[in-house]
């Protein structure tokens, strides 16, 4: 079996991580004070209370509650330094936990819609990536996530605004996140077509146990042409879909996350089944600041113990992540 020391020593990669979801209550309070935001008048305990979401019994309601907390904290990020500091804190944590490579998602629309310039978001994040690489040797790339509950026009305008950063290679991929109910992948066919033309690598969320999840995963591969799916755990309900994902080598970025009221990792048996089907499934932290599961380094030994995973299985999750990573050429060989 894989013990904590084995998990700590594994070279790790994280492919599903929202930078806005890395903010812990303490980080939120510090940002609120420095930006003179209303949250500065709250105590740490009060902010922690807002992180007690989920457990409603309905996956859609749980996702909605989690997203309310996530987007509620997002307005603490407003200057280039806020983005730089937040990304650097995450990369510092990666370095300390043996995460050698990370693909970091960000939600530009949640910032630009508040008047934060796209340049401040992207340049702040990218400068942290350069600093982290130079200081710790941790490699990272950026994924621009479209909010699926906003309009297609807003998504297309966001692609236009981000085009200079795509062209110079500062953004590697496109994702799709936020509220899935009523916002199927098929809504974004034109957005993904344009992004592909611009050279983006493609992924999209199909969150756990959402309505029509199997249908959404099919839409992602057949209509959007994604190479990865974020979550995608419900593929287990359709044998044809499993076969299709295996043949394509689609990477599925699972998150055995638990909320503050959950004592244990979740989704572990389904993640094991995905591995046993030969799917390229990986383990990720998603929103480590919001979720009790925390960072990847903290989560992995808990998942290994709870699922009684072997060393070979834990190593396979990590190998899958490096194979699913959007790194081309000689760099890939280094792994
Ligand atoms: C998210 Cl887990 C999840 N699902 C959808 N949107 C998100 N944004 C941040 N985390
Ligand atoms: Zn996510």
Residues 304-313, mean pLDDT to the nearest whole number: 98
Considering only CA atoms, give the Rg of the chain. Answer: 19
- At residue 333 the predicted structure's pLDDT band, cuts being 50, 70 and 90, is very low
> At the fourth CATH level, which superfamily is domain 4-328?
Metal-dependent hydrolases (3.20.20.140)
Residue of the CA atom closest to atom 2 of ligand 1: 286
Query: Under DSSP, is residue 325 helix (H, G, I), strand (E, B) or coil?
Result: coil
DSSP string, 238-268: -HHHHHHHHHHT-EEEE-----TT-SS-SSH
- Out of 15, 17, 70, 179, mutate this one to test ligand 1's pocket (max ligand atoms within 8 Å of CB): namely 70
Cβ–ligand 1 distance for 147 under 6 Å, the answer: no
Name the residue at shortest CA distance from atom 6 of ligand 1: 178
CA of 17 relative to ligand 2 center, distance in Å? 6
Please give the backbone phi and psi of residue 217, each rounded to the nearest 5 degrees, phi first: -65, -45
Mapped onto helix, strand or coil, the DSSP state of residue 83 is helix
The answer for residues whose C-beta is within 8 angstroms of residue 229's C-beta and 6 or more apart is: 203, 204, 205, 206, 217, 220, 221, 235, 245, 250, 251, 252, 253
**Angle, nearest 10°, between helix axes 296-307 and 80-97?**
40
Answer yes or no: is the C-beta of 205 below 6 A from any ligand 1 atom: yes
Does the Cβ of 21 fall within 6 Å of ligand 1? Answer: yes
Residues surrounding ion ligand 2 at CB below 5 Å? 286
Q: CA distances (Å), 58 to each of 132, 148, 288, in order?
A: 39, 20, 22
Confidence at residue 87, expressed as pLDDT on a 0 to 100 scale: 99
Q: Per-domain residue ranges for the chain?
A: 4-328
**Residue 329 has what pLDDT?**
59
Q: What is the pLDDT of residues 98-132, one digit of tens each?
A: 999 999 999 999 999 999 999 999 999 999 999 99
Q: Mean pLDDT, the chain, as a whole number?
A: 96
User: Any idea which of 91-95, 186-190, 259-263 has the lowest mean pLDDT?
Assistant: 259-263
- The CA distance from 45 to 40, in Å, is 12
Q: Give the atom of ligand 1 at the shortest distance from the alpha carbon of 21.
A: 9
289 lines ligand 1 (CB under 6 A): no
Mean pLDDT of 233-249: 98
Reply yes or no on whether the pLDDT at 330 is more than 70: no
How far is ligand 2, taken at its centre, from the CA of residue 267, in Å? 15
Alpha-carbon distance of 309 to 207, in angstroms, equals 24
Q: How far is CA 153 from CA 19, 65, 147, 159, 177, in A?
A: 24, 26, 12, 10, 16
Q: Tell me the pLDDT tens digit for each residue of 215-224.
A: 999 999 999 9
> Given a cut of 60, is residue 335 above it in pLDDT?
no
First to last CA, the chain: 24
């Amino acid at each position: 079996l894989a013990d904590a020391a084995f998990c700590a020593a594994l070279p790790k990669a994280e492919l599903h991580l929202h930078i806005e979801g890395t903010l812990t209550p303490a980080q939120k309070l510090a940002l609120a004070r420095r930006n003179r935001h209303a949250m500065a008048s709250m105590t740490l305990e009060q902010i922690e209370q807002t992180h007690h979401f989920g457990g409603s019994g309905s996956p859609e309601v749980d996702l909605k509650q989690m997203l309310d907390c996530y987007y509620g904290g997002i307005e603490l990020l407003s200057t280039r330094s806020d983005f730089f500091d937040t990304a650097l804190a995450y990369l510092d944590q990666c370095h300390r936990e043996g995460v050698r490579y990370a693909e970091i998602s960000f939600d530009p629309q949640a910032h630009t819609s508040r008047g934060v310039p796209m340049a401040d978001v992207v340049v702040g994040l990218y400068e942290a990536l350069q600093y982290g690489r130079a200081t710790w040797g941790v490699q990272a790339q950026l994924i621009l996530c479209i909010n699926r509950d906003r309009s297609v026009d807003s998504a297309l305008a966001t692609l236009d605004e981000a085009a200079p950063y795509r062209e110079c290679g500062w953004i590697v991929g496109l994702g799709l996140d936020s509220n899935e109910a009523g916002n199927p992948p098929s809504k974004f066919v034109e957005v993904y077509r344009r992004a592909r033309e611009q050279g983006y690598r493609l992924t999209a969320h199909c969150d756990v146990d959402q309505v029509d999840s199997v249908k959404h995963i099919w839409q992602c591969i057949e209509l959007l042409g994604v190479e990865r799916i974020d979550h995608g755990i419900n593929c287990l309900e359709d044998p044809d879909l499993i076969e299709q994902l295996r043949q394509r080598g689609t990477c599925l970025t699972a998150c055995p996350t638990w909320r503050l009221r959950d004592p244990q990792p979740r989704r572990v048996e389904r993640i094991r089944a995905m591995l046993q089907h030969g799917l390229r499934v990986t383990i990720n932290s998603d929103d480590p600041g919001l979720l009790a599961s925390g960072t990847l380094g903290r989560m992995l030994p808990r998942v290994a113990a709870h699922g009684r995973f072997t060393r070979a299985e834990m190593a396979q999750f990590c190998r899958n992540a490096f194979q699913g990573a959007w790194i081309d050429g000689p760099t890939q060989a280094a792994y």
